[in-house]
Structure 1
Amino acid sequence: MDNGDPDGTTFTITDLSKINGLLTAFDATAKEMYESDSMTDIARAVYSADNFGGNNRNEGYTNMVDLLGLLNAVQPYAPSASDAIAKLKEAVIYSVNGDNHEGAGGLSLYYPLSVQGTEELSVFADICTSSYYLAYVDSAAYGTTGGDLSDYDNSGLIADCDDIWNYGYTADPNVGSNYSDVSYADDNSTIGIQSVYFDEDGTYTVQLSDMSAFNYATCTLFMTYDGTSVYLGEDDEVVTDYDAMILQDGFDGSWPSIAGQPLAIVAVSVGEDRSVYTAPITLNGEQTNLRIEYDFTSSEWRVCGTWSGIDPETGVASRDTQPLKDGDVIAPAYFVFSDEFNDYIYGDDITVSGELQIEYDALPDADYSYSMSLYDIYGNYYYTTSVTFTVDENGELFFYPDEL
């Protein structure tokens, strides 16, 4: 029986008698993480760890990160992570992973990739079993406000590890109270931008003045349509020169499309061999998300199926990716910004018959707005100065650099 896409599947059997040893070892690692002078490096490294449940702007955030991936990422800064890894492998006695999670260790934990408000932190504080990890997470969440972590003192959150296990333990009410703005708004970005310009080759270029909190960048597109701005999503065609602190676009005017209609994509995971993207669609009249995968080895796209995302009320992620069936009717969805309304509009219906084809197609002839989205290690994102470009009826692309 076909019950979803096996590439995203994980299955684990855990020896619960080994969990206490794992928690104790992890608490020692969390202490080293919290006390490290390299928090920005740690936060950046953790983004390389596998994660589960979407964790992108299209589908929402669960902030669940693979524990083994996190421990491997922080080990250069927290040497005791090697002991925690050994305890994790003792606790996980059997595991099976699909291709999209082939390095997963069997257990995951909460990590603030993108905190969805201080209430989320309060819930986490009530269930966290390591006071040092709680303090680390609180510091990372404070980073979302754009504040200076060197001046942030939350040492009052550190409690004796025995106390946090007591039946009558109550989480410190100060978690999240030292900062009210966990909005990930542009103004909170900690990335220093020196200038935005077109170089002598006509390439859109961003010169950074500080990359200490820089995580990654994407190119972001909006299409002008009947006086509105239609969001076409983000692609990772950005060339990063860390030595010169320069970002340059690799955009060539093509965009992932289905049946000639562009998809409003956002990356779910980016790897060396394959990357997974998500795009909003309707499926038989119901809003959902289409998961697609690009294989760098074969240079081909594959449709994985649909994923319902994260329940806005419970925060629970959909369990699996459902394959499309012959006879299903889908339509691309696009979020529109205008003076009159902000809502979704929909493309033409596509009836599924056999395997759907995803292609890099030239964008429709129209005017577009191009910018970069710069993400920092705390989950903030910042739109650089946008510039207009036009795609004509022949598929030729023309930028207007004088706008910068």
Structure 2
Amino acid sequence: MRRNSMKRKIRRFLAVLLSTAMCLSLVACGDEVVITEDNTQNAQVTEVTEQQEPASEVQEEDGSWAVYWYLCGSDLETNGGFATTDLDEMLQVDLPENVNVVIQTGGAAVWQNEYMDPAKIQRWLYNSEGLQLLEEQDTANMGEAQTLYEFLAFANENYPADKVAVTFWNHGGGSVNGAAFDEIYGYVSLDLSEMYQAFDAVWPADTDNPSLELVGFDTCLMATIDVAAVFQNFAKYLVASEEVEPGNGWYYTGWLGALADNSGMNGEDLGIAICNSYYEGCEAVGTQDQTTLSVTNLTKLTPLLDAYETFGQEAFVAATEEPGFFAELGRAAAQTENYGGNTREQGYTNMVDLGHLARQTAWMIPSAQNVSDALDDCIVYRIGGVYRSEATGLSCYYSYNGDIDDFNGYIDMGTGVAFKYLYAYELTGELADGGEEYLESLDIQELPEIVTLADKDWDNAPLDVNDEGISYLSLGEEANDVLAGIGFSLYYVDPDNDQMMLLGTDNDLTADWENGIFYDNFRGVWGALDGHLVYMELSYESDDYNLYSIPILLNGEAYNLQVAYDFTAEEWSIIGASQGLDSSGMASKELRLLEEGDEITTIWQLASYSGDDDFEMYTAEELTVTADTSFGEAPLYDGSYAMVFEMWDAAGNYAYSDAVTFDCADGEIYTSVY
């Protein structure tokens, strides 16, 4: 709807017609939101039925290790055989007698090996005697708490050890959507409350003396403060990735081999081995540029949770005192490293790096430094690629898209209460049930009304052109208190053939926030793959580099090509291709590197010039990847173009300026404003 509105706007502007004001506003969800001190642990989930008593704890340390591997194969195994690859990596390790790996397999429609049966849940043991099938049963949903509980109870009862690690293998979806998306059962996943319930039924929650040495996620997006808050009740260490993992995932030969060589290691040592071998494995196949993996000492997490809650409380108080707080926070979040995409085409995970957000907001929230200090204390190790240089080990929630349904998921799964009230206020202008008591606890007498784009008359805001031919938008000082960001959308227009083409979005503007004036810095070039212009979206902006996402067909399948622009080197690079989020919130685990011979079809967003139809994806040009394939900038084709300044606020409202139109001919630009 939003893009169709922009299309109509450009058409009207190009025709020099008057238009009525239009500003999209947040549509609130009708579901009632209730915030409690511990939503994650108290959320209603299917009750776990305990079928057996867990084994008593090992009384004397004997140096033994057990890894309980919850291997939900999903489409990763069906389509790519990635689980089979990791099982093969495990089989390369000769384990000593005091190390057992207990595995449950399921959740995939097809297994790319002759051992696993997709029609059954199977339990396996890998030890010094090799791989053995222990038992099998009718298929069950790996995305349900009961299935997880039964595996954990079985492993704990039959294969206890001095030190135990529980690892998950599958897709991940961050704090809101969890992990273990079962392909057979419609990609239902385990959310954090279900994980808590299953673990608690086997090892009663105890932050002072957790039963497990380590919990690990060989999945995407699960190194979050909310995940850490759940598992501090059960384990000493957490190993997980803030970012989407590439398809190669953890390198099982590496870290299991390290454990086999030194079974006396603790959870920290094992976590470091997992991180190092993972990064080495990524380097071996060229997927390291956007990797993250961290080891969190969960026994030191409580000070971080306390600092995070205070951080949220101070932010809430500031929001009630400073009219422009949410706009400033939104601009800080835009400059904060975020994970999983967060663009229209890729979908929104709404996960940002916690430490980077604290640094970006330290000037406005004093306790941000305490968050950074506490985070440094509990993150004992981390690795990161060149385009994930700001990763500090754990991410947190920030709503980039203003989606209320997604926010309600965070209400249910997130830790603490301060940020839940803060974001409820930001997105709706109101508080959830219990908000009056929360205001009273902070000695806040009333909740001021938030001024958003929906309250401003900035839709259709006029553009001007200065003596140098640069177009600019002048909104005044109030823009600093309202706008969370500003960019532009670029269109190719062809009235004679009744066509409009949306080329994408960028932030190539010069912003004077103090005076609310924004200058076009457009140079007449656009992103191109081997000289073919493409549709592209800005996914992350920083002082060092920008990241962009480009929808393509790769050998006939839909992907998003990830590219980066390095401001220091003034160079573009191709990172790889991924498939973004699906409707369930599941993140693609495969980062697909381009290979010689790959067939790429570029995708353009087209609509008619005269009608009210929405922009739709159309295949455009085909090219074959060669050894010299590269991404760069190319001059715009000769023809007519339109640029619209796009404004947004922290509540998810958008407004659009008048269009600046220009003609390109032989590399020259001729600009006009309507």
Report the Cα offset of residue 141 of structure 1: 1.4
Determine which of 464, 472, 475 is the counterpart of 1:197. 464
SS of residue paired to 1:71: helix
1:224 and 1:189, CA in 2 relative to 1: closer, same or farther beyond 3 A? farther
Name the structure where strand makes up a greater proportion of residues: 1
- Asked if the contact 1:131/1:157 (under 8 Å) is kept, the reply is no
TM score, norm. by length of structure 2: 0.51
1:7 and 1:191, CA in 2 relative to 1: closer, same or farther beyond 3 A? farther
Deviations 1:8-67 (A, max 9, x none): 100111122223332222112211111112333334333322111111223221100111
Report the Cα offset of residue 256 of structure 1: 1.5
Pair 1:370-2:643 in alignment: yes
SS of residue paired to 1:317: coil
Deviations 1:312-370 (A, max 9, x none): x2212223532101111112101112336642112221111114222321111222222
SS of residue paired to 1:386: strand
Determine which of 647, 650, 653 is the counterpart of 1:380. 653
Runs of 4+ in 1 over 4 A off after TM superposition: 1-4, 152-155, 189-194
Pair 1:106-2:393 in alignment: yes
Determine which of 356, 364, 386 is the counterpart of 1:69. 356
Deviations 1:364-396 (A, max 9, x none): 12222222122334443322111332223x233
Q: Which runs of 5+ in 1 are unaligned?
A: 143-148, 161-178
- Asked if the contact 1:71/1:85 (under 8 Å) is kept, the reply is yes
Structure 1 CA distance for aligned equivalents of residues 501 and 491 of structure 2: 5
Structure 2 CA distance for aligned equivalents of residues 200 and 322 of structure 1: 47
- Asked if the contact 2:427/2:652 (under 8 Å) is kept, the reply is no
Pair 1:188-2:454 in alignment: yes
Determine which of 400, 406, 418 is the counterpart of 1:132. 418
Structure 1 CA distance for aligned equivalents of residues 377 and 587 of structure 2: 28
Determine which of 119, 143, 164 is the counterpart of 2:405. 119
Counterpart of 1:89 in structure 2 is 376
Rg (Cα) greater in structure: 2
Counterpart of 1:58 in structure 2 is 345
Structure 2 CA distance for aligned equivalents of residues 345 and 79 of structure 1: 49
1:155-234 matched pairs, under 5 angstroms? 156-157=434-435, 188=454, 192=458, 195-209=462-476, 210-211=478-479, 212-225=481-494, 226-234=497-505
Deviations 1:79-105 (A, max 9, x none): 233333222222211111111221211
Structure 1 CA distance for aligned equivalents of residues 499 and 356 of structure 2: 42
RMSD across aligned C-alpha pairs, in angstroms?
A: 2.6
- Asked if the contact 1:6/1:98 (under 8 Å) is kept, the reply is yes
TM score, norm. by length of structure 1: 0.83
Structure 1 stretch displaced more, 36-45 or 343-352:
36-45
1:299 and 1:70, CA in 2 relative to 1: closer, same or farther beyond 3 A? closer
Supply the AA of the counterpart residue of 2:474: Q
Counterpart of 1:315 in structure 2 is 585
Determine which of 513, 532, 548 is the counterpart of 1:277. 548
Structure 2 CA distance for aligned equivalents of residues 375 and 100 of structure 1: 26
Determine which of 247, 256, 268 is the counterpart of 2:539. 268
Identity %: 26
1:8 and 1:190, CA in 2 relative to 1: closer, same or farther beyond 3 A? farther
- Asked if the contact 1:204/1:249 (under 8 Å) is kept, the reply is yes
Q: Which runs of 5+ in 2 are unaligned?
A: 1-280, 439-449
